[in-house]
Each structure stands twice: as C-alpha cells, then as structure tokens.
Structure 1
Amino acid sequence: MGSKLCRILEDINVLIAEMHDFGLRQTFLVSNQLRQTPPVSKECRQTDYVIIDPQEIASRSRHEDKNNIIDILPGEASNVDLAVVPIVGMGGLGKTTLAQLIYNEPEIQKHFPLQLWVCVSDTFDVDSVAKSIVEASHKKHGDTDKPSLERLQKQVSGQRYLLVLDDVWNRDVHKWERLKVCLRHGGMGSAVLTTTRDKQISEIMGPHRTYNLNVLKDNFIKEIIVDRAFSSENDKPPELVEMVGDIAKRCRGSPLAATALGSVLRTKTSVEEWKAVSSRSSICTEESGILPILKVSYNDFPAHMKQCFAFCAIFPKDYKINVEKLIQLWIANGFIPEQEEDSLETIGEHIFIELASRSFFLDIKEFKGDSDYCFRTTCKIHDLMHDIAMSFMGKECVAAIKEPSQIEWLSDNARHLFLSCEETEGILNNSLEKKSPAIQTLICDNPMRSSLKHLSKYSSLHALKLCIRDTKLFLLEPKYLHHLRYLDISNSSIKSLPEDISILYNLQTLDLSNCSALDRLPRKMKYMTSLCHLYTHGCLELKSMPPGFENLTKLQTLTVFVAGVPGPDCADVGELHDLKIGGQLELRQVENVEKVEAEVANLGNKKDLSQLTLTWSKVGDSKVLEKFEPHGGLQVLKIYSYGGECMGMLQKMVEIHLFCCERLRLLSGCSAIFTFPRLKVLTLEYLLGFEGWWEIDERQEKQTIFPVLEKLFISNCGKLVALPEAPLLQGPCGEDGYTLVHSAFPALKVLKIKNLESFQRWDAV
C-alpha cells in the first residue's frame, strides 16, 4: 500500500507542475471529511478556507532531511550490529511526519522486507513495547502465551527489518539494552529509527548516528501561516500580510506552532486583533517549546469547544479515535450546547471539523471495510496537543494502559476513565472499595470476565463501554444507571440484555454491534424514547425486533432491522415509516415482511438514508423490487438472495451490489433508453440466471450505459455470455485528432471477472 501511495503522490506532483504551468491555484485537503467546508462555530469568522496537507509541506521542507536519513539506513546493509538512528528535536518540528515519509519511501520498503511502527510515548515498559512490536506485524503466530520478549525474538529472527519507535521518553539504559538484545536477532542490515525530544535519550539509543532535526526555514513557516490565516487569494489585506513575518518569528521554525497561530488569525479581521494575538503569543524557547502558542490557540475557542477537546485527554497518546463515537461521547457528557436549527450530532461534526482545521486532530482517515456497516472516520491527537488537553483536565481524565498503582491512580477528582490493562474489573473493585469518585465516563478496552462490585458507585455514569466475555454476565445493574446516555457493549459474548434495561430512559446511544450470540432485544425497548443510535450489525442470532419501534421517535441510526415472523411480540417494518433513519440500514428476512412492496418502497424513500441492504434468508418467489424507485440521496444498494426476475429503476445509484439473486434476468424492464449516469461500482455475484444485457436500440446507439463506472466485479454468473454491447464513441487520437471507438465503460479502472462458464466476448475495445 505504501508503494501504491508513493506512485499516486508522484502522479499528483506531475499534475501540480502542470497546474503551475497553467497558472492554477494549488490546494490540498486534509481528508474527504473536509471536502465541503461546513459552517464553523458562530463565534468564529464565517469564511471558506483551504487546508494545506502537512505531508505535502513536509515532503518539500524536509526533502533534504529525508534523503540524508535514507542514505544512512540502507548503507548499514553489511553492518552486523543493529543500526539505531534517533531523530531528535523540539516538539512540533515534524519528527513523526519525517519518520512517516522515510517509512513510506519506496526505496526503504524495497530494502526492508519487514517494517514495524510502534508509538512508545511516556511508558517504556519493555514487555509492553515488545508486545506492541509483535502486534504491529501482520504475521500471526499461535504462540500468544509465550513471553513478549521471546515472541519478539522469534518475530525478527533472520529478517532484515526497519522498526520505528516513535516518541521515546525513557532514559533507563538497562531497559533499552534489554530490548536491544532481542532486536539484535534480526537479519544483517536491520535498523531502528526513533523519534524523541530528549537529546540525552538520543545519545543513549544511538550516539554515533543521532540526527538533529533543524527548525523549518522562514519561507515555509510564512507559507503555513498565510494559508491558514487567509480564506482566499483575494482576501489578503496588505496591512495584515506585512505582519506575517513578525508572527512567523514567534513560531521558531515549528510547523505545528505556525498552523496553530495561523488558524487563530483566520478568525480575526483587523490589525488590532492580529496585534492582540501576537502579544499573547510568547516566542518559543528551548525550555517552553511551543506549548504557549498552542495554549493561545486553545484559549481562543469558546468554552464548549475547549471542553470537547480537553475531554480527549481520556485517550492514550497515539490512540486511534472513532470520530462518530467521540461526538456521541461529547453529547452524552453534555458538552455540546443545543441550537434550534441543528441537531447535536451536526453541531458536534462542526466542532470536530473546526478543531481539525486548527490541527488539534491529525491523521483523519476514512475506512470502508467488508461488513455491511463499514464506514467510519478515525483521527489521532498530536502528542503536544494531548499535553495541552491533560494540562487543563488535571486528574479528571485518567488513561491506564498497564496495571496502575492501587493507591495513586484513582483520585476523588477523577471523572473520565480509560482502562486497557489486564484484570480491569479487579483494579476497579479494589479502587472503589475505598474511594467514591463521581465517574461520568468509563471506557474499558479489554474484555472483562468477572463481576464488578460496589455497583451503586457507578450511579453518576453518563457513558460506558464494556466488552463482556461471560455469556450470562451484564456486570452492571440498570437501576443504578439512570443518568446513562451512552452504552457500548459491542463484541461481547452476551446472549441477551436484562429486561430492566428499558428503564434507561435517558439512553441515547446503544451499541450492540458484533454481539454474535445475542438472540433477542428487551421486549419493552419501546420505552427507551431518548434512543437516537442503535447499532445491531453483526448480531447474527437476532431473529426479530421487539414491538413499539414507532415510539422511538428520535431514532436516527439503525444499522440492522430483522423482520421476524409476524406476531404480537415482533415489530413490523411498517413501524419505521415515520422515523427519520439515516446513514446505513440493512433489512433482514425480507420474506417475513407483510405488505412487502409498500414497506420496502418506503425505506427507499427515506431522504437521509445513503445505503440500503435488503436480505432474504433464501431465494423464493418475489416481485418486490420490480417497481422499486429509490430517492436520489440513496447511493448504495445491496441485494442478497432476491427471488424476482427483474429489478426496478436504479439509475440514481452510485453503487449496486447483487449477490445470490439466482433468478434475476434483467436489471430493468422499463425504459427503452436506459443508462446509469451516476453508477461507479457494480458487483454481480452468483446470479445463476443472468444471461446477458439489454439490446441497444437506434435511439440509444450513441449513449454510454455506464459513463462513470470505475469498478466492475462479476463472478459465478454461469449463463452470462458477454458484457454489454458498446456504442460507437468519439475518442482522442494524436494531436487535435480523434477516432471512433467502442466503449461501454469509458471510466473503468478496475475489472474483476471470474468463474463465468459461458462467457465469450467483451465488445468494448
């Protein structure tokens, strides 16, 4: 993947060069999340802004540094001893970003068959670091019961590897030497690249190869400030531009400081406001680093945004945060103020994007997995930003990733706990025996196998995440959880929820995803009228839903609805009619739905729904989709085991996936002129009756059926003879010339076809 990304970046650089030749403006986006700039906080200046990609800045400003270190690493190929190269520099200079550039360099990836990345941060427990290194490898071993150091030695034995230890703080020589003993079992030419702010640590780890990272040159710092401070090329008052140089000096060559100050200045419009920001910004020094400037950026936020970000101190450094869940945790704790015109979720998204635009959140990535509910956005927090959050939260946020001291770790001021250590339940039981903190958030990242005690001491909980391994254990009693607004017990082994969970009238989010043994929901769930988000994907044993769903009028998210055999104890799909469900929804066991055609059509017309999956338990007689006409906002349609012979009007779809529809012969029996103007992904699997494509008549001969299709996957369609006949199109040929070509898929990038027994030809040339 790293090699592919590098090739993509090379292509982008060529395009950028062409853009400059034509005088076009160069812009970069942090992620798809920020493509459309939403409204920012009302206290902030309402402008459009462009966000420079920090990787792009680093690739230009750190090009020489990158090449210098790359020359060192492969040059150690004949060195029997382990090569250790520390990168040392002040916080915010971009040490981690530089290490990422080196890590993803094609030359480095080719030279080191095994590449490993571990964020060390404050804790340098040798066994924990060794365990993290082993887990960083994609190779799976069946020796998980062996000590971590022994597993590490086996992992690297005989292989030439590159290991990055990011953000090292520990000065204990003996711990480093103990880890190094195992690392020396790697193949000849293996190397360790470390990043640290501490010169003494760099001298301990690699005294002869330490690379001191210098501050960025003024022109790069000014470029970052200008890009963050001004919304467009036409919005640069000369009197403000003149002040950029003085402000850049305060950043002392730190790109993170420049980003923070530039983002603050974006909300200011006058010279007086700029001077006020400048006067509050202490010049960075070796002692203070850039923390004073980051605090200026933090203090510029309104109170609720400060609270939202400071809460993130609950997560360990380098933790991958689920953005959707983070916003729900903000809401559960009451950090987001209500506004008449927007929902709390929408306001939370605006807060997140505003924080991200000021680099309080980094590494924003969107993921699409293989599951039916697969979309998620994740982010991380720069370690300096984490320090800012911790400085304001004090002891209110506690993150324990190894067994803490039973005396010191939990104070009476603790409000938000994150535990990912072994024996979590024992640690909590022992601590709460003598103390009674008013805990509002409890996130337990490790599975729990025994009961919690002192249950009444959890009565102040607003948000709770547990993973329960005992099938009959729930751990907490609902009667003590009246304030609970967020409950995540995903990936648990429970078979059922206690019936009295329905007394949680304030619960807004209930995540039951991937509880594979869960076979029923509470019968009186209809009384949980505050419920906004219900995640039930991955609950493979669910046979039906409890009645009364029409009472859950605030429900916005429902990932899976299981249509059971009609009866008094079973909800009908019709109960979803008036609910404003959005995002992704799967309807299972469609064969059990009464008035199937009307109810499915209603699901297709929900304006906030972007993806709909319809699943039949087995292929049977059905005509429900012959007149199916989904609304324009529904982009993705997935169909499993549909028993009809044709399917309705699907021209508005961006993605269509058809699986095991054995009787399907036609995608439409309607319009004579039939195209898919928006379709980008088409998947056809196990369509055993699918023989071919519609004929192109005279009126359609100049039209392309799939003008923007990028991905086509067809497998196990035994009767399919050919792909669609391609119309004759005009295509480029040489300078100012053209030719006529056949092309049914002019935008196609990926084609996968397999197990097509009758397939004979592809007419598209």
Structure 2
Amino acid sequence: MDPMGHLELEEVGKQIAAKCKGLPLALKTLAGMLRSKSEVEGWKHILRSEIWELPHHDILPALMLSYNDLPAHLKRCFSYCAIFPKDYAFRKEQVIHLWIANGLILQEDRIIQDSDQYFLELRSRSLFERVPNPSQGNIEKFLMHDLVNDLAQIASSKLCIRLEESQGSHMLEKGRHLSYSMESIDFEKLTPLYKLKHLRTLLPISFQHGAPLSKRVLHSILPRLTSLRALSLSNYWTVELLDALFIKLKLLRFLDLSRTAIKRLPDSICALYNLETLLLSHCDHLEELPLQMEKLINLHHLDISNTSFLEMPLHLSKLKSLHVLMGAKLLLGGSSMEDLGELHNLYGSLSILELQNVVDRKDAVKAKMREKNHVERLSLKWSESSADNSQTERDILDELRPHTNIKQLQITGYRGTKFPNWLADHSFLKLVKLSLSKCRDCDSLPALGQLPSLKFLSIREMHQITKVTEEFYGSSSSKKPFYSLEKLEFANMSEWKQWHVLGNGEFPTLSHLSIINCPELSLETPIQLSRFQVIGSPKVGVLEGMKQIVELSIIGCNSLTSLPFSILPSTLKRIQISRC
C-alpha cells in the first residue's frame, strides 16, 4: 500500500504510535495488524478502541488489540500456545501438528501449505518471534515474548495448564491441554492426573536432555487418559509400550515418540484408526514397523528419518491418506522400483540402496523420481560388484534424476564410466551439497562448476580419475566456475596425478580445502600451487579467487607437504599438512 495515496493514514498512524509509548513490542505487534488494513476507518477503529483506557491491565493494550483483531480460528490456535512455558523454543511443525490433532485447523486447510499460513499470520503480527541462534544446527525455532505468553494464558481461559505453575488439583481438572517440565516434575507422583479423563493434550517439555519414563506412568496413568488427542513421549530415554496402552487411546491423533530408545512398536498401534501424525525420528534402536500399518487409514504424516531401519516397509504405499513421509529408505531386493513410484508424498530425505539390483532403464523409470518434488535430500547407493554394462548403468542413473528442488545429493558406488549430463545441470538452483564417492569406474568428472548454488563438494575414492581437466569447471556460464563453493574435499584418490587450473578466478568464495590421501598428485613447485590460488604470494602474481581460504588440510600427499609458510595467505586460521 502506498502511504502517499492515503495521507490520512499517516496522521492516524502517528496517533496510534503515540499510544504505544515507544514500546518496541507494542509497535511491532500493531504494525503487523495494521499491515492488513487498507482503509482509514479500520485504523481509526483501532485508535478509538476502549482497550487503550483499561486501568492496571498487565497485558499491553496493543497486544490485546492484535489478539482481538484475529479471526476466530486463529484466536483458538494462538490461545492453545499457552501450553508452552516462557522461554521455550518451539518448532513450527510441532505447533501445527498439535493444532491439527486438536481440531484447531479447519479441515480444508490441513494440507501443509495451508497450515503454514496459520503460523505465518501469527508470526506476521509478532506474536511469534524467531530464535536468532537455535541450539540444534539449522533447525528454525520460535518463541513468544513473556507478555505475549501472558496474553495466551488469559486467552486460553485456563484450558491450557503448565503443571509446574498449576494451583492445585482443581485447576488440573479444568484443563484440557497439559504440559510439564521433564526436569522439574516427578510425573510418577502426580496422583491428580488419574482424574483427568477429559485431557486432550499431554506434552512433556525438555529444556535439556530427556529422562526415563516409569512403568507406572505407562501402565497405570496413561491408559486412563482415554480422551487424549495428542501425546508426546519424545526425549524419554526408556519407553516400553504395551499393547494395552493403544487399545485405550483410540481417539489419539498425534503421537510423538521421537528421540526415544524404543525398540519396537506394539501391533496395537495399528488400531489407532484416528491417528494422523506419527513421529519416530531419531529412534536409533527401532528397526522395523508393524506389518499392518496400512490399517492406519487416517495417517497423514509419518516421520521415520534418522532411524536404524534397514529398509522402508513397502506396504506404506498402501496408506492412501499419507501426505508426508519423511526419512524413507528403500533397500532394493525383493522389492521393485515400482513400489517407490507409488510413494507420491515423500518429503525430506530419501535413500535408495542396493541399486545394483536394478537391471535396466525401464525399472528405473518406474521410480518416478522427477515427480518427487518434496524430496530435498537424496542418497543413491550401489553395493560393490562388477558392472556388466557401463552404458546401462548410466541409463539407470539418468532415469533417477531428481526434481530440481533437491538440496543435497549423495551418489555412492555408481558403476558407470561416465556421469549423466543432468548431474551438472544449472537448473538445480537449490543444490547446495554434493558428494560423489566410490564411483571407481568413472574416469572423468562432470562440469560441476556450473551448479550455481553449490556450497559443499566432496569427491572420494574415485580411483580411475588421473586428472581433473577443464571439463570440471564448464564453460557455458557467464559467472565464474564454482561461484558459491565454500568447502571442497578430495580424499583417497589413489591415481590422481594432475589438477588443471584455469586461472580465471574460479572458486571465488572457497574457505575450506582438504586434499587427503592423494599420493600421486604432484604440483611441481609451490608456484604452481600459488597459481592454483590455494596459497598466494605477491612475488608470483596473486590471482583473484581463493584468497579467502581460512582452513587448509593436506594429508598423505607426499608432493604437497613442503610448502613455504612465507606465502600462506593472511586469512588462513587453521592448517594441517602432514605425510602419511
């Protein structure tokens, strides 16, 4: 909206800002709300609101105005978040799953993209704030400002209870959604929980690490909570589930067993006909799923990523309601690529193992890999065996071309002598990480320099590679080769002797270089290495490019261990040079 086209808005906006008294949270929250109102009368309605005049109100009037302006379904979603304690960082997906399980997201909006809009709308009004530096890698997390959390508590009308803050069993009995701290609450001694027959959500909160869950809780308390829609046992060290538990919890829609040491799922879990979300990620000891999983006719979301499954149960393709399957691992044996083709809703990571069992191109076509537009991480692996026909192997890999949404790709044990052209296709705009390993018959590398977003490249155990030529960089792009590359690794290249460098400023963003166990690689003089721009010296004419190197590792490369330290770049912070 152009403010110059609505000059009256400027004056009203100044008056509203004055009422915020310079408080950043109030200004941010109201800005998010006013952004959606293009008419002057809507702004004036906010200015004239009686909420500004409420005496001794603990919640900022601006926050209350923003809440009142929400549509009814978003009010319910926001008030549910009162279940989270202050300073607790939550994931967007976690909140959306809980909303869906409790019927807070409209039926027509339950697909992933529409559910996201609920969360994004609340975030746009600054009711949710992004955690700047999440503790777990790149996992995006959010929290509520303390005052926003107080507002959620008021809005929830005490239906959401945080156990450590509860005032006696009377408050517990009124609650419908309950969270508790795994570190500070002895769950086993909470006898009032026996009375919570109408409890809908039971959510343990862990700020640090998990704890063991007693058998008394599993066998005596949980089976009594027969109205549960959402149950989380995530982060508990020991969880032994008996059939009797799920026979009682027939209304369950959301079950989170992630990051537990569970060894098996009871068969009775297949009787949870209302179950919509099952989270099993990081269950390191879980090796298989029950055989009758197809009975879960309402299962929409299944996460089996980072489990120890040897293979993905192929009967999961019979789950016709499944919208999201994360962490799939397919071991090709008695199964066929056609089974993989039937899995239309794969998300996140996919591993396809034992590809030597695919005998021709027609079988690879059946996998329908190019249609799997939500797979972001793909691993293709052949076990060691002699290739019957290099062209057949190339045809098979050609048909396994992923969708251009792919972000990470790993190819291991490929048995062809050449890679298909798609591997260097610049249409892979999102590909940031590529690993090629144990492709022992390949005698050349594709034009990987043309991948526009590639940041991490690892090339290992490719024993037919004797030289890296101009082909590695490509020539069709106007940008410098490897324009985005930050980390480059070569390792265990036993026959690699020559590395041809263009000298045209390739690798302009490279900061980490590793050359490990490449005993035949010979650079005749340090000047040649300088020309390659790993090490720069004004005396030999430093080229633009890899002058940003901060970490250099050269191990087990006999010809590269006598470099003069006087020509190391000033940016270098860590160096490791040694003979094996």
So what's the TM-score if we normalise by structure 2? 0.77
Residue 418 of structure 2: SS of its match in structure 1? coil
Cα separation, 2, equivalents of 1:656 and 1:611? 11
What amino acid maps onto 2:42 in structure 1? E
Cα separation, 1, equivalents of 2:193 and 2:477? 75
Residue 513 of structure 2: SS of its match in structure 1? strand
Q: Aligned ranges for residues 552-571 of structure 1 at < 5 Å?
A: 552-564=319-331, 566-567=333-334
Two-structure CA RMSD over aligned residues (Å): 3.4
What amino acid maps onto 1:382 in structure 2? H
Residue 321 of structure 1: SS of its match in structure 2? coil
Report whether the alignment pairs 1:545 with 2:321.
no
Summarize deviations over 1:475-531 as a string: whole Å, max 9, x none. 962122222121110111121100121111222221111111112110011221322
Cα separation, 1, equivalents of 2:73 and 2:98? 14
**For 2:401, which of 629, 638, 646 is the aligned residue?**
629
* Shift in CA distance, 275/475, structure 1 to aligned 2, threshold 3 Å: farther
Residue 753 of structure 1: SS of its match in structure 2? strand
Cα separation, 2, equivalents of 1:421 and 1:401? 11
The residue aligned with 2:460 is 686
The residue aligned with 1:706 is 481
**For 2:8, which of 230, 236, 239 is the aligned residue?**
239
Cα separation, 1, equivalents of 2:454 and 2:221? 55
The residue aligned with 2:350 is 586
What amino acid maps onto 1:604 in structure 2? M
* Shift in CA distance, 264/561, structure 1 to aligned 2, threshold 3 Å: closer
What amino acid maps onto 2:188 in structure 1? G
Q: Aligned ranges for residues 744-759 of structure 1 at < 5 Å?
A: 744-746=506-508, 748-755=509-516, 756-759=518-521
Cα separation, 1, equivalents of 2:135 and 2:360? 30
**For 1:278, which of 36, 44, 47 is the aligned residue?**
47
The residue aligned with 1:577 is 341
Q: List runs of 5+ in structure 1 lacking aligned partners.
A: 1-230, 727-740
* Shift in CA distance, 261/561, structure 1 to aligned 2, threshold 3 Å: closer
8 Å Cα contact 1:324/1:376 also seen in 2? no
Report how many residues are paired. Answer: 503
Report whether the alignment pairs 1:676 with 2:450.
yes
Report whether the alignment pairs 1:665 with 2:428.
no
Cα separation, 1, equivalents of 2:4 and 2:216? 61
Residue 354 of structure 1: SS of its match in structure 2? helix
* Shift in CA distance, 758/309, structure 1 to aligned 2, threshold 3 Å: farther
* Shift in CA distance, 291/399, structure 1 to aligned 2, threshold 3 Å: same
What amino acid maps onto 1:379 in structure 2? F
Shift of 1:606: 2.5
So what's the TM-score if we normalise by structure 1? 0.59
The residue aligned with 1:606 is 371
Report whether the alignment pairs 1:441 with 2:201.
yes
Report whether the alignment pairs 1:335 with 2:104.
yes
* Shift in CA distance, 482/646, structure 1 to aligned 2, threshold 3 Å: farther
What amino acid maps onto 1:436 in structure 2? L
* Shift in CA distance, 548/628, structure 1 to aligned 2, threshold 3 Å: closer
8 Å Cα contact 1:529/1:551 also seen in 2? no
Report whether the alignment pairs 1:495 with 2:278.
no
Shift of 1:749: 3.9
* Shift in CA distance, 278/678, structure 1 to aligned 2, threshold 3 Å: same
Shift of 1:538: 2.1
What amino acid maps onto 1:504 in structure 2? L
**For 2:115, which of 329, 348, 356 is the aligned residue?**
348
Shift of 1:710: 2.7
**For 2:80, which of 291, 311, 315 is the aligned residue?**
311
Residue 549 of structure 1: SS of its match in structure 2? helix
What amino acid maps onto 2:192 in structure 1? S
Cα separation, 1, equivalents of 2:306 and 2:360? 24
Shift of 1:369: 6.6
Shift of 1:245: 2.2
Report whether the alignment pairs 1:432 with 2:193.
yes
* Shift in CA distance, 595/384, structure 1 to aligned 2, threshold 3 Å: farther
The residue aligned with 2:32 is 263
Higher deviation after alignment, 505-514 or 585-594: 585-594
Residue 478 of structure 1: SS of its match in structure 2? helix
**For 1:388, which of 146, 151, 154 is the aligned residue?**
151
Q: List runs of 5+ in structure 2 lacking aligned partners.
A: 388-392, 524-528, 534-542, 544-580
Residue 261 of structure 1: SS of its match in structure 2? helix
Shift of 1:333: 1.1
8 Å Cα contact 1:514/1:537 also seen in 2? yes
Q: Aligned ranges for residues 157-556 of structure 1 at < 5 Å?
A: 231=1, 233=2, 236-280=5-49, 282-283=51-52, 287-288=56-57, 291-339=60-108, 343-364=110-131, 376-401=139-164, 407=169, 410-422=172-184, 424-428=186-190, 430-433=191-194, 435-445=195-205, 446-447=210-211, 448-452=213-217, 453-467=220-234, 468-470=236-238, 472-474=240-242, 477-540=245-308, 542-556=309-323
Give the fraction of aligned pairs with identical amino acids, expressed as a percent. Answer: 25
What amino acid maps onto 1:399 in structure 2? R
* Shift in CA distance, 422/413, structure 1 to aligned 2, threshold 3 Å: closer
Cα separation, 2, equivalents of 1:701 and 1:432? 67
Shift of 1:280: 1.1
